[in-house]
Amino acid sequence: MSDLKRRTFFKLGLFGAAISLVKPSKAVEIISDASTKKFVIAPKKIVISTWNHGIAANRAAWEVLSSKGTALDAVEKGVKITESDMSNRSVGGGGRPDRSGHVTLDACIMDEKSRCGAVAYLEGIKHPISVARGVMDRTQHVMLVGDGARDFALDYEYEKIKTPIKEVKKDWKKWKKENKELFKKPEINHENHDTIGMLALDAFGNLSGACTTSGWAYKMPGRVGDSPIIGAGLFIDNEVGAACATGMGEAIIRIAGSHTVVELMRQGKSPEEACKLAVERIIAKHDDLTNLQCGFIALDKYGNYGGYSVYKGFNYALKTENRDEMVDAKYNRSWE
Ligand code: GLY
């Protein structure tokens, strides 16, 4: 049986009927099923991901989507590109450490069946996202943390990596010297702080997402942010849409950010409106917005997308059949 036959989309003989039946037609395309030679209506494949590093990650994800792969495989492959980039200081093994010099990695993944897996506080493994997928595929659990996550990764022979790398260690030592007074306080630095969150819709009409980060630079040992927390850093409901978050994890967790965005889409909000309302909820819950940058991106089941952040400066990468570019997210306020 071909992949296409397994799709759940409509099969119609007449183009006119097809177009009038599918209202959100912006987000579908008519394609020819190679095996049956019939025309079928498929959702338009799309992948979006946070920040500039999303461009390279989206391209890797697109290779999977355009060869009839699943959104789940696409998002895993996509964010692995960012995790492999040792010049990236906020994702993967090149990331900045916590205050005690340990690079601890957080990641989660979720698919169209609401299956999910996550790892937090994982050290010395190259692809936390694949370990998160391993937790989902190979265990009855959703999340493994710390030594347990590492033991699981080593048992299944996920690739190891030595952290921190030389440059990161040097920066950390300098930071320690210059920030003696901060050393015991949970202060944060938003500039060092971003995540790759990726959402994809495949040709079968299924959504998946992935999120991975080294977390807050020089965070307190033991700190875990939103990125590995299903419902905070990432949430998928295949009936509705998908959302993921970037920025100050503590604020995102407080409003169960990504779940909130998906629920707002369920109530009929567009992806951008849903992200905006979630950002406004964060703003309303915090008296002090100093350095409180958070952003969301969202994708609905028809392939409509959007993003929104507290402060100006958040952007996300978009890849479709015809587009491969950065999009500036709308925002609530400027930094000044
Ligand atoms: N959003 C990533 C973190 O707070 O760790």
Cα distances (Å, whole numbers) of residue 29 to 40, 75, 113, 268: 8, 21, 23, 23
Question: Atom 4, ligand 1: which residue's CA is nearest?
Answer: 249
Query: Are 44 and 31 in contact, with CB atoms under 8 Å apart?
Result: no
| Rg of the chain over all Cα atoms, to the nearest angstrom | 20
- For residues 261 and 128, membership in a common domain is answered with yes
- For residues 9 and 77, membership in a common domain is answered with no
* 177-186, 191-200, 248-257: segment of lowest average pLDDT: 177-186
- Dihedral sign from CA coordinates of 175, 179, 185, 191: negative
- For residues 113 and 255, membership in a common domain is answered with yes
Give the distance (Å) from ligand 1 centre to CA of residue 323. 28
Give the distance (Å) from ligand 1 centre to CA of residue 133. 19
pTM, 2 dp? 0.88
Cα distances (Å, whole numbers) of residue 268 to 36, 139, 240: 36, 35, 9
Helix, strand, coil in percent for the chain, rounding step 5:
35, 25, 40
- For residues 27 and 61, membership in a common domain is answered with no
CA distance 107 to 83: 10
β-pairing, 234-237 vs 241-247, is antiparallel
DSSP one-letter code for 44:
P
Per-residue model confidence as pLDDT tens digits over 255-291? 999 999 999 999 999 999 999 999 999 999 999 998 8
* Res 333: pLDDT: 94
Length of the chain in terms of residues written: 336
**Which residue has tokens 């936390």?**
128
Q: Is 195 one of the annotated active-site residues of the chain?
A: yes
- For residues 29 and 61, membership in a common domain is answered with no
**Which residue has tokens 């909130």?**
260
- For residues 175 and 33, membership in a common domain is answered with no
Q: Looking at the CA of residue 294, tell me the nearest atom of ligand 1.
A: 1
- For residues 129 and 20, membership in a common domain is answered with no
CA distance 116 to 144: 12
- For residues 128 and 225, membership in a common domain is answered with yes
Q: Looking at the CA of residue 215, tell me the nearest atom of ligand 1.
A: 5
- For residues 79 and 16, membership in a common domain is answered with no
From 312, 300, 261, select the one nearest 282 (Cα to Cα). Answer: 261
- For ligand 1, say whether the CB of 197 is within 6 Å of any of its atoms: no
* Res 19: pLDDT: 42
- For residues 245 and 106, membership in a common domain is answered with yes
Query: Are 62 and 47 in contact, with CB atoms under 8 Å apart?
Result: yes
CATH number at residue 268: 3.60.20.30
Per-residue model confidence as pLDDT tens digits over 101-115? 999 999 999 999 999
Number of structural domains in the chain: 2
Q: Which of 49, 198, 248, 258 to mutate to test the pocket of ligand 1 (most atoms within 8 A of CB)?
A: 248
Q: What residue numbers bound the domain in which 51 lies? A: 44-335
- For ligand 1, say whether the CB of 215 is within 6 Å of any of its atoms: yes
| Residue 39 predicted with pLDDT over 90 | no
Q: Which of 105, 213, 220, 224 to mutate to test the pocket of ligand 1 (most atoms within 8 A of CB)?
A: 213
- For residues 128 and 269, membership in a common domain is answered with yes
Helices (H), the chain: 15-21, 54-66, 71-84, 128-138, 146-155, 166-178, 249-254, 257-266, 271-285
Give the distance (Å) from ligand 1 centre to CA of residue 187. 14
- For residues 59 and 32, membership in a common domain is answered with no
Per-residue model confidence as pLDDT tens digits over 74-85? 999 999 999 999
Give the distance (Å) from ligand 1 centre to CA of residue 152. 23
Give the distance (Å) from ligand 1 centre to CA of residue 103. 14
Q: Looking at the CA of residue 219, tell me the nearest atom of ligand 1.
A: 5
Question: Atom 5, ligand 1: which residue's CA is nearest?
Answer: 215
Question: Which carries the bigger pLDDT value, residue 23 or residue 109?
Answer: 109
